[in-house]
């Protein structure tokens, strides 16, 4: 097959038992105004009608790869990347969807020299709102460590050559739920040129499967990811040790806020105290603890009423 016949964009779609959402994701892909793409649905041996959903499209651009990832979604994404033929890689989670202009707008940025392009998303499902990715100053290596991830896979297109140069996604089980954050840090360290579009070009689904039940496991994985990049032993510099404490504090604070948002006020306390112990100079921790105290007392009053 010559280069002229290869698709420009390969869309990697990992899935497991998401047939009800996968249909919408693929419909949003087929509806793109940009048509020079292939899709690789990396199916983790779903037990629902996933294969029937894909087959119903009868579109030669959509291929299925049955692949057992053993719970490591990064392995599914890497499998899709290895099988891809496109110059650019797009990620679409099977419970998300895109708006028609998504690929055309993002491909334009990559054609102009960007290595990664990301856009805003609309939250749908159990929690609604807008997810703002970026901005650019938040995507440097130091900023990603200090402030956390500002990039979402379903909003992202990446140049395949730079993905290959950093080894793709880590398949370390300790990074599960944060393997994308690990990749963004590797790309930032490799000086990838990142562009952020202030456009809402897709929808990110929040449902029971990705809410409070995974907060503590995500906390552990985020700590593992930052630990992979930071030196914290006695031989490291004072600056490195302080950076590590600030990063850990931010992660505990974020997990505490997530528990707080899901009404788990008692559980949030320990995370806020740990965050405060690690880095007592963040005013947001004190504010969050004040709000948690009020919310907890209100919940107790309601239970006694």
Residues 77-123 have pLDDT tens digits of 999 999 999 999 999 999 999 999 999 999 999 999 999 999 999 99
In a domain, 221, yes or no: no
- Is 12 within 8 Å of 160 (Cβ atoms)? no
Contact 201, 98 (CB under 8 A): yes
Residues 44 and 104 in one domain: yes
The SS3 call for residue 199 is: strand
Number of domains in the chain: 2
Residue 222 within a domain: no
**CATH at residue 274:** 1.25.40
Question: Among 270, 282, 260, 180, which residue's Cα sits nearest to residue 221?
Answer: 180
pLDDT band, very low/low/confident/very high, at 209 (cuts 50, 70, 90): very low
CA-to-CA distance for 212 and 123, rounded, in angstroms?
A: 16
Residue-wise pLDDT tens digits, 210-261: 455 589 999 999 999 999 998 766 667 888 889 999 999 999 999 999 999 8
Query: 129-131 and 88-91 as β-strands: parallel, antiparallel, unpaired?
Result: unpaired
Domain assignment of residue 163, yes or no: yes
Residues 234 and 196 in one domain: no
Predicted TM-score (pTM) of this structure: 0.93
How confident is the model over 176-203, as pLDDT tens digits? 999 999 999 999 999 999 999 999 999 9
Q: Residue 168: which domain range?
A: 3-210
| 119 within 8 A of 154, measured Cβ to Cβ | no
């Amino acid at each position: 097959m010559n280069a002229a016949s290869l698709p420009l964009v390969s869309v990697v779609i990992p899935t497991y038992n998401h047939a009800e959402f996968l249909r919408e994701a693929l419909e949003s892909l087929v509806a793109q105004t940009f048509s020079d793409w292939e899709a690789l649905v990396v199916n983790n041996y779903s037990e629902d009608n996933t294969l029937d959903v894909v087959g119903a499209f009868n579109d030669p651009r959509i291929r299925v790869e049955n692949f057992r990832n053993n719970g490591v979604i990064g392995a599914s994404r890497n499998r899709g990347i290895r099988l891809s033929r496109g110059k650019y890689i797009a990620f679409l989670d099977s419970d998300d969807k895109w708006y028609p202009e998504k690929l055309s707008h993002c491909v334009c940025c990559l054609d102009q020299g960007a290595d990664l392009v990301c856009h805003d998303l609309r939250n749908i499902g159990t929690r609604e709102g807008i997810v703002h990715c970026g901005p650019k100053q938040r995507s440097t290596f130091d900023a990603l460590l200090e402030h956390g991830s500002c990039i979402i896979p379903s909003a992202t297109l990446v140049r395949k050559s730079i993905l290959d140069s950093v080894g793709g996604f880590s398949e370390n089980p300790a990074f599960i739920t944060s393997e994308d954050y690990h990749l963004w840090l590797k790309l930032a360290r490799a000086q990838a040129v990142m562009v952020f579009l202030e456009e809402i070009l897709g929808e990110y689904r929040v449902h029971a499967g990705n809410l409070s039940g995974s907060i503590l496991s995500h906390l552990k994985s985020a700590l593992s990811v930052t630990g992979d990049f930071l030196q914290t032993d006695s031989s490291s510099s004072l600056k490195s040790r302080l950076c590590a404490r600030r990063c850990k504090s931010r992660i505990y604070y974020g997990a505490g806020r997530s528990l707080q948002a899901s009404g788990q006020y008692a559980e949030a306390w320990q995370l806020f105290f740990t965050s405060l112990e690690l880095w007592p100079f963040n005013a947001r921790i004190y504010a969050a603890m004040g709000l948690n105290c009020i919310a907890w007392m209100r919940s107790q009053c309601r239970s006694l009423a």
